[in-house]
Amino acid sequence: MKLMKTIKIFQLSVLTGLLLFASSCEKNFLDVNDNPNFPAKASPELILPSIQGYTAYTMGNQYHIIGGLWSQYYTQGALGSQYRDEDSYLYIASDANRPWNLMYAGSLTDCQSLIEQAQAEGLDNYTAIGKIMQGYIYQMLTDVHGDIPFSEALKGKSDANVSPKYDSQDAVYDGIISIVNEGLALIDEDATAITPHGDDLFYGGDMHLWRKFANTLKLKIYIRQSGVRPGVAQAGIAAMEAAGDEFVDYDEDAEMQFIDVLFNQNPLYTTMQATFEGNLVASATIIDTLLNRNDPRIDALYNPASTGTNNGAHVGIPQGDGPNLPSNPPALHTNYSTPIIEPTTPVIFISASESYFLQAEAAAKGYTSGDAEFLYLSGIDASMYRLGFGGIDSAQLNDAPLRFAADDMKAIAIEKWISMANGQNIEAWTEWRRTGYPAFNTTSTSVLPSGTFPGRLLYPSDELTRNANAPSQPLISSKVWWDVN
């Protein structure tokens, strides 16, 4: 039975101000010690939406764009140039400054403030959410950068540590599991417990759903290291099965929703309106995949061309070829499919389809006793359901079981890639690096050698300049710890 969750609308006035601050690249929300006009401490009900809003703003903008380009969901349009460098894998250290700072000085610092304030007031459920959100953010950062400040991070004010050491990625993963377990242990689902309500923009204070979110995050952490530490992955997942842990299901996606009101709109939509909407055009990689599979989700993910000889049809630009298209007649972005990014498009943190694909992979690897094929088909079905379709039967994907039987890991990986299109872009790029699927037959028109793809994001130039413990800058083509494919 599919249970409908209460919709949380991103319309709190405090978050309107938050996005304004983020847009100007300034982190001054909750910098209360520096501003005598604010009280010495902010309450947990103000800090929590700040965390969710800041994280959604960054995940749904800078990381979403780079993930969309490098997962071959988007490519640079012919008449624009905003993302030409990123599309050709020319990513420089200064590009990482803003999202890194927003995550560390913004989201993670606010998480720590929430934890400390909630602990002082005995608000265990707020403390739990702070720890779980910290784990989510740290995992995203270590997945895209590799080694990161972790054990000594967030101690600048208390310990005057402005040069935290960089922990190895395996140590960060182990630390994240510990943080999330601490959060899980604090969750109190009793109706009389003090919980968030409207200030929780994901789940409205439903701590059972937060438990499922945390379990799904742990499952993802174990699955991601299954290629490099299979024993750790198997033991961790087996323990979760033995404990009867539940995972995110239909209508339980962790997401930030928006409304079509200025400063309350989807962050990428706002960015596109402020620059040039034609900068991002559909990549032929995803369009051709959906067309070849007769997949109806194409109409929910991409607009068809609205002008030219392609009018009414779905046509993508081969990855990186936008700048090479002829300018006379002009290769308008409206001659090609474009991603559907509306003012109300949500930013997704964890989805039901992702949850099912993680469970499918765990079962296929023999880590659980689950039915791998059923879970795989449920992942496709959940993706269809989210996008407004009746389910897998109406999707004309009758060959999905055949694909699973031929190569279960490949089938799971490719279907997960499709399900994350235009919704979980940075996660899709991370999963592509881990699994190697889909096997793109061409790189973008690139500054890297032929057949070479980015393996990580560079460290920010600010960090390399200011942190005496920052490591040497790795090559963008070098792989992170768990990338062994």
* Segment 355-365 mean pLDDT: 98
Q: Which residues pair with 75 in a beta bridge?
A: 281
What tokens does 391 get?
């389910």
Model confidence pLDDT, tens digit, residues 296-331 = 999 999 999 999 999 999 999 999 999 888 876 678
**Letter for the amino acid at 344?**
T
Structure confidence at residue 193 (pLDDT):
80
What DSSP designation does 226 have? Answer: T
Sign of CA dihedral 321, 327, 332, 335: negative
| Residue among 287, 268, 326 at smallest CA distance from 83 | 268
Structure confidence at residue 35 (pLDDT):
41
- At residue 443, does pLDDT exceed 80? no
> Mind giving me the DSSP string for 275-336?
S-GGGEEEBHHHHHHHHHTT-TTHHHHEEPP-SSTTTTS---BPTT-GGGS-SSS---GGGS
Domain 16-263+345-466, architecture per CATH: Alpha Horseshoe (1.25)
Task: List all residues 6 or more positions away from 388 whose beta carbon is below 8 Å from its beta carbon.
Answer: 300
Phi/psi region, residue 480 (left: phi>0; alpha: psi -120 to 50; beta: rest), is beta
Model confidence pLDDT, tens digit, residues 175-230 = 999 999 999 999 999 877 889 999 999 999 999 999 999 999 999 999 999 999 99
Structure confidence at residue 451 (pLDDT):
84
* Segment 100-118 mean pLDDT: 96
Structure confidence at residue 446 (pLDDT):
74
Structure confidence at residue 277 (pLDDT):
82
**Alpha carbon distance 19, 347 (integer Å):** 14
Model confidence pLDDT, tens digit, residues 31-84 = 333 443 334 578 999 999 999 999 999 999 999 999 999 999 999 998 888 999
* Segment 265-286 mean pLDDT: 93
| Residue among 111, 127, 107, 108 at smallest CA distance from 119 | 127
Indicate whether this model's pTM tops 0.85.
yes
What tokens does 307 get?
């002008």
Mean pLDDT of the chain: 89
CB 42 within 8 A of CB 116: no
- At residue 21, does pLDDT exceed 80? no
- Give the E-state strand segments of 127-187 in sequence order: 148-149, 166-167
| Residue among 424, 413, 423, 428 at smallest CA distance from 379 | 413
Domain boundaries, the chain: 16-263+345-466
At 442 the three-state DSSP class reads: coil
- Using alpha carbons, list the distances in angstroms from residue 133 to 36, 130, 316: 29, 5, 36
CB 466 within 8 A of CB 448: no
- Quote the crossing angle between the two packed helices 124-145 and 425-435, to the nearest 10°: 50
| Residue among 475, 456, 458, 460 at smallest CA distance from 100 | 460
